[in-house]
Every structure is written in C-alpha cells, then in structure tokens.
Structure 1
C-alpha cells in the first residue's frame, strides 16, 4: 500500500491498496429528519463544492451531517473521537412533533455507501428496517484498510491533519 498525491494538492490524497484506489471524496449526502431538513439530497461536485446561502437555512447542518457520517471512520484513528448523532439532531416540526427517525446516507465517489440513523418519535424504530439501509460495515472496512498501517503505508496523524482538524471542529462542546 502506498500514498499517492493527486496533482499538486496535498489535501486530495489517494491511497493505492491492493491495486485499486480508495477515494474518500463525498459524492452524495441524503438527509431525512435531520435538524431543519425533512428530506434533502446534496450532490457534491467532484473537485469542489461551496455552500452559499442566507443565515439559518442549514449550511452548518450539512457540515455537521458530514461529521456524523464520518464519525465512525474517525473513531478508527488513534486518540480521535468521532461525532455521533445526538437527540437534538432529530427534526422537530413547527407543531413540536419529532420526526419518526433521523437518517444520514453518505455515498463516496468510489461507490461505498453507508448510513447513520437514530430513533425519533417512532418507538419501534429499527434502522435495519429502513429501505436500502446500509449500516457501517463498508465504511469500517475502508477505514481499516486506510488506517491499519499495514504494508508500506505508515499511518501518520499529520498526513491526515484535515481529518484531525475536522474531528476537532465538529466535536460537540462538553456540557
């Protein structure tokens, strides 16, 4: 396994593991019952996506959803705690009713897809019962491949400084 830099941009690191590239760029984010979003699909451009909108419409919620989506992957890193969904992430409508559940579905450009979900008002909620629910197994395998340190690739927290920075930025303040 070896690290390869894509062009001159050190932020776009690709890894070659067992003769195929693992690209961790996000392709699509689907939100259901998450904060201000009843349902939303955000498709990201391959090279750069910029979120521009008035205050209070959900830009930070999209970034927090990404932090939650990648939270499981980040917990595979030494001394890093990933962000997990909170009770306050579940959408509450104008009448004060909570959504039945909250779901964040994430797809990468390499085809890996996974979900994070939490129960809202639905007492008998089981994430596995959601249509197309894909759990964390694929992203956990990807994280283990990337961060295991096997082969010639040696994990260095500095190499993944952006992930460490994002984990710090998106952490929830202690109560």
Structure 2
C-alpha cells in the first residue's frame, strides 16, 4: 500500500497543490501553523471519510471558497484513486471515478494507522473513543462488521425513541431486545477476538519502548462476556433488559449494551488511565497503535499507511529512537515535525511554508 500523489484544491490553507510522495519515510517539516497537519489530515480523511481534527467538515474548505477537493493516487496491487468534494451540499466520494453511494463503501479502500499527540489521553478519555478504535480496525478486516454496527445503532435508536413515548409498548420493545441481543453477540465476539490478538503483542511493544520491567495488558469490559453458549447469552441479556427496564423508562434511554463497552489497559495490574503517569499513558497508546499495525499487516497481507502528526516531539530521545526503529520497517510513513532533528535512513523531506510545499530530496 503506497500513496503516490496528493492533490488539494481549496483545502484548509491550500489554494491548489499537488505533492508526489515516496516509499519509506516522508518527513513533512515546517514552522507551527503553516499547514503540515492539514496534509496528513487530508490523507486520513480519504481513508475513513472523517476528519481527526474537526467534526464540522465545512471547516476544511478554504476561507471564502465554496468547495474543497481532496484526491489521492495510490497503489494497492494496482493503481487506484480516491477523491472527495466537500461543500455545503455534503461530501461526495469517488473511487476510481465511480461515486460511492454510502460512506461505508469507502471502508477498507485505503488503510492507515494514525498517531497524534492527543493519544496521551487515549486511556483517560471517554470509552467511546476506544470503542471507535476497535470498531474501525475490525471493520478494516471484516466488511460485515460495519453492517452489524449500523444495525445495532438503528435498533438502539428505535428502542430509545419508544422509551420516550407517553404509552410505551413493552411488547414491541421486547421484540427489539431480541434483535439487539443477536447482533450484540456478533459484535462482542469480534471485539473480544481483536483484544485477544492485541494482548498477544502489546506487552512486548510496550517493553521495547519502555526498556523497563513494567507489564501491560488489555481488558475488554462488556455487558456480558460469556459467549460459549448463545442460549445462555440471550437468556442473561433478556434478564438484564428486564432488570433495567424501569431505569430505562425514567432515563428514556437504554442503560445497558455494547454502546457502553470499554477497553482498559492495565499497567502492572492497575488501570493506566487512572494511575499511570503521562509518559506511561503515551507509551501505552503507542504500544496499542504499533500492535494494531502488526495485526493489520498480517491479516491484510500488506502494510497500512502510517501517519505520525507531531508525535516524535512529545517523546524523549530514548523513546524517539525506539519508535523510529519500529517505523523504519514500514513500507510508507508520514511524519510531521517542526524540526529535522530525527535520523531516518533514505527519507524524503518536504518543506512546508505558508505558500508552498517543496520536496528537498
């Protein structure tokens, strides 16, 4: 998997630019505020269809312009192209010049692993971010998983709507409960399996970065985790829905289910998000991302694109060197930084100013 060319029109601070990228490490360097992050935001946007910087995608349109266009030429077994036009009318994605009717159709066309400075609070933040991490990476490997997530969200919304009605139809809610139980069983199965795979790797990744005797592991907390017997699983969830029904009526929302699941990292048996230092939390998140990178590489039989947005500056020299050792093994990496004080063999450097992006070597 390799990105060959990025084209931007009216995207953020870029009026019009076209950049050819190389295999290996691509260093994007420049002063703060010149638009380094905007370049990798564009790449990640065409991977998942959403910005990691904003929920208001109209912000990506250059000031006083009516639209923005983002386009990638990339190689994945053959030459391919993804583009998107963003305007007040919404987002319009095209893959090899064929319009995608749903955002879910974009899933897996290009795969990346994104490292950002905000990862330091990954295990402290709302569990929804960690669920999103699991769901995104599972969906890269399993197209049916997205359908199950979509179905669950639809059923959950319908159940919550019914709970808000003046005369609640308990029988109809029971029908929805049974449908929700079935799809939750499949989703929990996939999430547990992904956490199992991560646990096979994550401690080694952490210790390689940390160079200490600390031990880390992941725990997946869910509504009910015994999946050996679907009959028992269904029976227990029906009991839970019955037990929580009065609470749900008062709150007018569903209080139990996979939409409250959590992914926790333990450091020496204690929750890292609660008891770990900032440095330990940062290494924990890096270890998680490096582990998912290895899983995706193995199961896709190709390497995802790797993006680091101003991450190396957050690490001391020792941890920079350890992370760089991991990154030099990857087919294509994009790194934004303010200074060129990191050593990479055979890297390509792009100098960003307010007006241009110039390839230097």
Q: Report the alpha carbon displacement of residue 87 of structure 1 after superposing the two structures with TM.
A: 1.1
Query: Are residues 141 and 69 of structure 1, via their aligned partners in 2, closer, same or farther at CA, if it must alter by over 3 Å?
Result: closer
Which runs of no fewer than 5 residues in structure 1 stay unpaired? 1-22, 73-80, 93-97, 170-175
* Higher CA-based Rg: 2
Query: Are residues 41 and 68 of structure 1, via their aligned partners in 2, closer, same or farther at CA, if it must alter by over 3 Å?
Result: same
The answer to whether the aligner puts 1:103 opposite 2:97 as a matched pair is no
Pairing 1:1-175 to 2, within 5 Å after superposition = 23=1, 25-72=2-49, 83=52, 86-92=57-63, 98-110=64-76, 111-119=79-87, 127=92, 133-136=97-100, 140=107, 142=109, 147-148=141-142, 158-160=291-293
Query: Which one scores higher on RCO, CA 8 angstroms, separation ≥ 6?
Result: 2
Cα distance between partner residues in 1 of 2:139 and 2:58: 31
Aligned residues: 123
Q: Report the alpha carbon displacement of residue 65 of structure 1 after superposing the two structures with TM.
A: 1.1
Please list the CA deviations of residues 18-76 of structure 1 after superposition, one character each: whole Å capped at 9, or x if unmatched. Answer: xxxxx2x211111111010011112111112111122222101111111211114xxxx
Cα distance between partner residues in 1 of 2:80 and 2:6: 12
**RMSD of equivalent CA atoms:** 4.2
Please list the CA deviations of residues 93-120 of structure 1 after superposition, one character each: whole Å capped at 9, or x if unmatched. Answer: xxxxx21211110121331211122115
CA contact (8 A) 1:30 1:106 kept: yes
Query: Are residues 38 and 119 of structure 1, via their aligned partners in 2, closer, same or farther at CA, if it must alter by over 3 Å?
Result: same
Structure-2 residue corresponding to 1:10: none
- Secondary structure at 2:29's aligned position in 1? coil
Q: Under a length normalisation based on structure 1, what TM-score does the superposition of the two structures give?
A: 0.52
Cα distance between partner residues in 1 of 2:24 and 2:100: 25
**Structure whose residues are more often helix by fraction:** 2
Q: Report the alpha carbon displacement of residue 141 of structure 1 after superposing the two structures with TM.
A: 6.2
Query: Are residues 134 and 59 of structure 1, via their aligned partners in 2, closer, same or farther at CA, if it must alter by over 3 Å?
Result: farther
Cα distance between partner residues in 2 of 1:147 and 1:82: 21
Please list the CA deviations of residues 118-146 of structure 1 after superposition, one character each: whole Å capped at 9, or x if unmatched. Answer: 115xx7x9958x9x855458854646996
- Provide runs of 4+ in structure 1 moved above 2 Å: 81-85, 125-128, 132-146, 154-163
